Amino acid sequence: MNPQPIDRYAETLARETRDSVSASAAITTEKRVDILARDFPDPDGLRRLAGQIKQHTLEHLDDYLAKAVRALRDNGVVVHFAADAEEARKLILGLLSERGVRRVVKSKSMATEEIHLNDHLAAHGIDCVETDLGEFIVQIDGDTPSHIVRPIIHKNRREIARSFEAHGLGDYDDDPETITRRARIHLRSKYMESDAGITGGNFISAESGRVVLVTNEGNARFSMAPNRLHLALIGIEKIVPRDRDLAVFLNLLARSATAQQLTVYTQFINGPRASTQPSGPEEMHVVLLDNGRSRVLATDCREILRCIRCGACQNVCPVYRQASGHAYRAVYGGPVGAVLSPLLAGERFSDLADLPKASTLCGACREVCPVDIPIPDLLLRLRARAKEEGVRTPASIPMAPFATLATSPALWRTAMTASRAMNHLPTAALPVKPLREWLKLRTLPEWRGGEFRKWMKKRKQS
């Protein structure tokens, strides 16, 4: 038995990184519980309600998406569709090139991470600067985000200060306030010189076509203040039926993500600048991204499309806390990623089929999910699918020898008592290599094989 890839990655993680990821995830988890319990009479009822609204929307997505597209177009938004990452990249590059855009500011968006937009634009001579502080640091480091909401949860201030120094953003200074101020000054000129702003989108109301975008830093608002073009890349599952439903999701999103009642900047965007508006981009384009979502909708794991990207399941997950987000080898890590990433991978499902196994099925992710996604159930369904498709993951244990043992009472008895010898052997002397490896990280309880049979015998006699 080889260790799972996530285990292997976790082993390579610096102790310091693991501790800080784990501690900060734990703090957010606690604060989240507090704020929900303090504010709402029935937080679980609220989560179930949100889950039901999303499930309803997904199960009627053809209608709601059509409605949303009509509303967006009525608002003066140019709507595009992209079937996959390649089409989305091509579309966005085309829109920017046609308008002579050279400089883009971008606010945090997981959808753009999914299609690896920055590299593509850079390869075609378009400078696309991340403006969210965490994403900016990820970008200058040539790294990838390791958490949905906290992209640099895996970095400490010293590492950040070193990369700022290396990128000409001042002498080494690891004070978080200094780091933030330096980024403020640097990014300010990027906004002002930009020709276009690219954002994601948290929700689209099918009723009004309003695109809802939330940030704490104000960078999404800033990304659509000084330039002429606003382009939003949004997954097709981000629709909610009505404006009133937005209150349900906004109340849950910030509390679940960062234990805030509401994000600082919450924008409801209803199209490009109108003649009555003094400022703002004259053109607004929304690119609706499928990239595997419609395929996920057709599976028995469609509930995962309810996800509103709060990161609460990552914060609470014992595996995520030990392994950090990069261990999942995909844009989405943690429990949500263990379900979503193999599904979105399409034909490459087998490459990520080990992810659903990297879970203790403790159920904590389901308890914190603001849209009540039954993540443990979905993990089991994906394990079953991997089995059905005959995917051999590194963690597959050959069960045949065990079956032989377990079906012969005599063999079983002998094995049980003989294994007591293990109690007297040093771990390094164990004859089975995978077991030795496994025991490097764990301690076995004392082997008491055969005790149960003895007890049964005695019981029958008395």
Partner 1 sequence: MSDTEASLFAALRETVSGLAGRTPLPDYDETILLASGRLGSGSEWESFAANFEAASGRPMETTADLATFLKEGGHLRGYCDPLLREKVGSVLQTAGLEVSYEYDRERYDDFAFGITRASGVVAETGTVVLNDHETSDRLAALTPWVHVAVLSEEAPVHRTLSDAIRAFGDCPNVIWVTGPSKTADVEGILIEGVHGPGEQICLRL
| Shortest CB 171 distance to partner 1, Å | 17
Rounded Cα distance between 140 and 188, Å, is 16
For residues 310 and 358, which CB has a smaller minimum distance to partner 1 in the complex? 310
For residues 2 and 277, which CB has a smaller minimum distance to partner 1 in the complex? 277
| Shortest CB 55 distance to partner 1, Å | 4
Burial class (CB in 10 A: 0-12, 13-18, 19+), 392: exposed
**What tokens were used for 419?**
């294994």
| Shortest CB 337 distance to partner 1, Å | 20
Rounded Cα distance between 353 and 373, Å, is 20
| Shortest CB 10 distance to partner 1, Å | 21
| Shortest CB 155 distance to partner 1, Å | 8
For residues 87 and 437, which CB has a smaller minimum distance to partner 1 in the complex? 87
For residues 59 and 451, which CB has a smaller minimum distance to partner 1 in the complex? 59
| Shortest CB 134 distance to partner 1, Å | 4
For residues 268 and 447, which CB has a smaller minimum distance to partner 1 in the complex? 268
For residues 102 and 182, which CB has a smaller minimum distance to partner 1 in the complex? 182
For residues 151 and 335, which CB has a smaller minimum distance to partner 1 in the complex? 151
| Shortest CB 198 distance to partner 1, Å | 16
